[in-house]
Structures are given as C-alpha cells and as structure tokens.
Structure 1
Amino acid sequence: MKRVGITLLAALAGVLSGGAGALACEGDKCANGLAYEAFGAAPGSGARPVLAVFVHGDVSAGGPADYMYNYARQFAAGRKDVVAVALLRPGYYDRTGHRSAGSDNGRRDTFHSGNNSAVAGAIRELKQRYGARSVVALGHSGGAGTLGVVAGNSPGLINGLVLVSCPCDVAAWSASRGRRPGAAQSPGDYLSGIPGGTPIVAVTGQSDDNTRPELAADYIAKAQARGLPAKVQIVGGGHGFGGALAGTSMSALGAMAR
C-alpha cells in the first residue's frame, strides 16, 4: 500500500506540473495524437476557411510550449473565414496539462522523421476537419525546421510558409552550435518537393546567435534558384519569438491567408 501511495502521489505531481504525467489530448482538441488550441471558424460551420497553423520551437529550457496560443488567437481575431490553430509537437504540453502523444526526445533533435510525419498527419486531419480551402503555416525555430520539411515532404499540404528563426541547414546549424548533426531532418533537403508558386518568407533576428541570419538567407537563395516566390527578412531582435520578429512574421502570414 505504501508503494502504491507513493506512485499515485508521483503521478499527481506530474499532472500538476504539466510534465510526463500530463493529460493526453483527446476529442476535438486532438489531431493525429497531437494536442492543439483552435481560434476562429468552427468545424462544420459551412465555411471554407483558411487554416493557419502555428508551431512552436524546441523550448529547450523546459516547461509548457504554449506561447503560440496567444499569437494564434490574435491572428484569428478580426479575420473572417480563418481558423488559427496552435499545434503542440510530439511530447510537448501546455500549462493546462494537455499533452501531445510521442516524445520530445529530451528537446534535442526534435524535428526528426517520426515527429515531422506526426505533424504532417495532424495538419492533414485538421484541414479535413475544418474543410479548409488552403493551409498557411508559421513555425518558430524547431517548429520552422519541422514545417520546412513537411512542406517539401507532403507536396501541396501547405500553401504558404513562414519560417521564423529557422535552422534550415541542420548540418551548418549544428556546426555553429558545436554539435554533431543528430536525427533532425534539414528543410533545405526538401525544397525540391515544394510546389511552384508556394510563397515562402524566412524571418530571423539580426542578433540571433542560435539560428543565425545566414541560415535563412542561404535557404531562401536556394528556394529562389528553384523559382519559388521566396524572400528573407532580417529584423531587429534575437532568437525569441516576440517584438519585430513576431510582428513581421504575423504580417507575412496574413498576406498569405487569403
């Protein structure tokens, strides 16, 4: 009985802290095993909305990964026929305790093939659930790495792409961080799968010493060489999502959500 009591207390502590014992996603807040929050048009409303997907970074310091919730809410406000979804990547949780299935891999090398496939499956399911006429997506840091791969590996699923603080060349990014490349897939390797005409905007802070501006610039140069309507915007600020980085990124996404 004593051991059972200790186990129950540990499980309860996990739920309260939002850690490994957090609640799995379910029902209308779950897509392909991934938890999400949605704002704007409701499923079955008869509208054919634009689906705007927001994907967070690695949140390497730990804790909830729900900082994109407020941005998704802001994006949906005042826009007709738009549903904005903040999606939690595999293994991540929010401050209410809802958690996506899968593993965050210790919050390193998080955008590997299994996790990227899970995100692609969730976007596909959400598109069907909301009857969306198109999908635009914004990813920050590791979320940008994920979406860059998904856009090329699932051609036509994403119709407009904003990559913020993107580790778009994983080998170069890892080297700049003094690491060996892990299991993460590199967006630059999947450019050939992105359909022609798909707009891409890469936004990076000029003081970002994590995903340095040249990573975005090199990726966009390669995208342009393939004839894609792509541009890079280097703005004030560092790596964290906020300020000019968030404002420029949201504006770029808004221009695509039509």
Structure 2
Amino acid sequence: MSWMRRGWTVMLASLLFAAPAQACEGEACANGLAYEAFGPPPGRSQPVLAFFIHGDVSAGGPADYMYSYAKQFAASRKNVVAIALLRPGYYDRAGKRSDGSDNGRRDTFHSGNNRAVAGAIRELKQKYNARAVVALGHSAGAGTIGVIAGDYPGLINGIVLTSCPCDAAAWNASRGRRGGFSSQSPVDYLSGIGSGTAIVAVTGQADDNTRPDLATDYVAKAQARGLPARLQLVGGGHNFTGALAGNSVSALGAMAR
C-alpha cells in the first residue's frame, strides 16, 4: 500500500504547487485578452503592429506557439512591434490567461470572441499609436481575423490567413459536423474589407482539416470583388510549422512596412 500513499502524495503536491492560470490583468492585457509584445515600447515611434493569432489548439494545453514567431519577427525588423495575442479563454505556459471562454476549443470564432479580439487590436493600436496594423491568423485564428477585417473596416491593413476555415459551414460539414455552430465565416465579410487591404491565404496541400478548397474559394471570391488577394499552396499539412509557417511569416513581413 506504500506505493499508493506515495502516489497520492505526489499527486497532492502537484496540485498544491502548480501555478494556476491567472485572469488577464496588468500591462500585458488588452480588452481582457493577454498578450506578449516584442519590439520597441509604446511612445517611442509610430510602429507597424503585427499580430500573431493562434488556432484552437484542440489537443489542449497552452496556446503560446506563436510567441517564438512573434519574437523573431520583431527582432529582424525596425520599428515593428509583434504581438502574440491569446484569444478568449486561452492561456500560456507562464499562467497568463485571457478572459472569456474557449468553448471547449471548438466553434471559437463566433461574434462575441471576434468582438473581444477586435477590441484588443483597437486598444493596442491606440496604445502604440501605430501607423498600420497587419495580422497573421492560423486556423481558427485565421477565421477570427478574416471576419474582423470585414466587420471592422480600416482596423487591419493586411491579413495572412493560414489554414483558413474561411467558410465555416463548409468547413464544419467537411469535418462531419452539421448544424449547432456559431462561428462566423470570413467569406461572408468580404464586402466590408477595404479595397487596399492586402490578403494572402496560405494552406498546406496535405491539410485534411482546413482543406485547400476553402482558401481557394475565398481568394477567388475576394478577387472577384477587386481585392488584392492571392493564394499560396505549400507543402505540408495543418500544423503551423515548416513551409506553412515560413511562407505565412514571409507574407506578413511583406505587409509590415
């Protein structure tokens, strides 16, 4: 029985000393959402703000995989502030958590959560007195910024939609989910996007989650409206790594000028 007591002791200790995720508060909090900023502090200049927005992270755990990309992005550019923003209900491995709910990590880019992200972007744009805002979103993060670009005209000047579920109904159907979802579709908000807004959709050719036809259809409809949209199909699947990440960050870099 001693091994059982030792097991319970270890479990109890881990529960007592594990740092719980904290609600968003303090300087690194905008409109209730936690973030990490890399680059010059506010008040030094009029920078370009480059947002990095994560996906659903359906397997669980911290949603901070964009931190390293944002840090590298800012380090290699002058007068650019890169911000990795945690969507509502998500947390990082340091214990910071955004207010709101991740809705069980599915059906996450609905109007309430998209409104929260747009509010955070607006607040940070004002805080840094930014001359322009560009954003890269992966998976559900792409769904989020795709909607915001059209629903809040002029807030974002360029978007990179990586592994985009650009038509939420078609995406859910392709995943065997029919009805009962409230996520908004970027394709439904194309009419609100300003004519000068740069759009790049990047999708892995082997992506069996947000399949390439979703981005292909979105770009075709954007181009039909006269928007400067282009599609990049790259090697790899859905995860933000390799060619998918490299091409997405490069596309964002071309906008951050």
TM (norm. structure 1) is: 0.92
Does 2:39 correspond to 1:40? yes
Amino acid at match of 2:61: G
Amino acid at match of 1:122: A
Does 2:51 correspond to 1:92? no
- Is the CA contact (8 Å cut-off) linking 1:16 and 1:97 kept in structure 2? no
Equivalent runs, 1:81-230 vs 2, <5 Å:
81-181=79-179, 182-230=181-229
2:34 counterpart SS class? strand
1:99 counterpart SS class? coil
User: Aligned residue for 1:5?
Assistant: none
User: Aligned residue for 1:74?
Assistant: 72
User: Aligned residue for 2:50?
Assistant: 52
Amino acid at match of 2:212: P
Amino acid at match of 1:102: G
2:153 counterpart SS class? coil
Aligned counterparts of 1:14 and 1:192: Cα–Cα separation in 2: 52
Aligned counterparts of 1:191 and 1:13: Cα–Cα separation in 2: 47
Aligned counterparts of 2:32 and 2:128: Cα–Cα separation in 1: 17
Deviation at 1:138, TM superposition (A): 0.1
User: Aligned residue for 1:243?
Assistant: 242
User: Aligned residue for 1:29?
Assistant: 28
Aligned counterparts of 1:74 and 1:242: Cα–Cα separation in 2: 14
> 1:16-59: per-residue Cα shift (whole Å, max 9, x none)?
36xxx4111222100000000000011121x0000000000000
Aligned counterparts of 2:18 and 2:99: Cα–Cα separation in 1: 18
Higher-Rg structure is 2
- Bigger Cα displacement from structure 2, 233-242 vs 23-32: 23-32
Deviation at 1:78, TM superposition (A): 2.3
2:82 counterpart SS class? strand
- Is the CA contact (8 Å cut-off) linking 1:202 and 1:231 kept in structure 2? yes
> 1:130-170: per-residue Cα shift (whole Å, max 9, x none)?
11000000000000000000000000000000000000011
2:173 counterpart SS class? helix
Amino acid at match of 2:170: A
Deviation at 1:246, TM superposition (A): 0.5
Deviation at 1:13, TM superposition (A): 3.4
Gaps of 5+ in 2: 1-10
Deviation at 1:15, TM superposition (A): 8.3
Aligned counterparts of 2:116 and 2:242: Cα–Cα separation in 1: 30
Aligned counterparts of 2:51 and 2:18: Cα–Cα separation in 1: 28
Q: What's the Cα RMSD here?
A: 1.5
> 1:69-114: per-residue Cα shift (whole Å, max 9, x none)?
0000010012111000000000000000000000000001000000
Aligned counterparts of 1:225 and 1:161: Cα–Cα separation in 2: 18
Question: Which structure 1 residue ranges, 4+ long, deviate > 3 Å from structure 2?
Answer: 12-15
Amino acid at match of 2:252: L
Of residues 11, 18, 22, the one that matches 1:16 is 18
Amino acid at match of 1:91: G
- Is the CA contact (8 Å cut-off) linking 1:14 and 1:22 kept in structure 2? no
Amino acid at match of 2:91: Y
Aligned counterparts of 1:147 and 1:14: Cα–Cα separation in 2: 38
Aligned counterparts of 1:14 and 1:40: Cα–Cα separation in 2: 36
TM (norm. structure 2) is: 0.93
1:27 counterpart SS class? coil
Aligned counterparts of 2:158 and 2:17: Cα–Cα separation in 1: 36
> 1:188-241: per-residue Cα shift (whole Å, max 9, x none)?
000100000111000000000000001000000000000000000000000000
2:164 counterpart SS class? coil
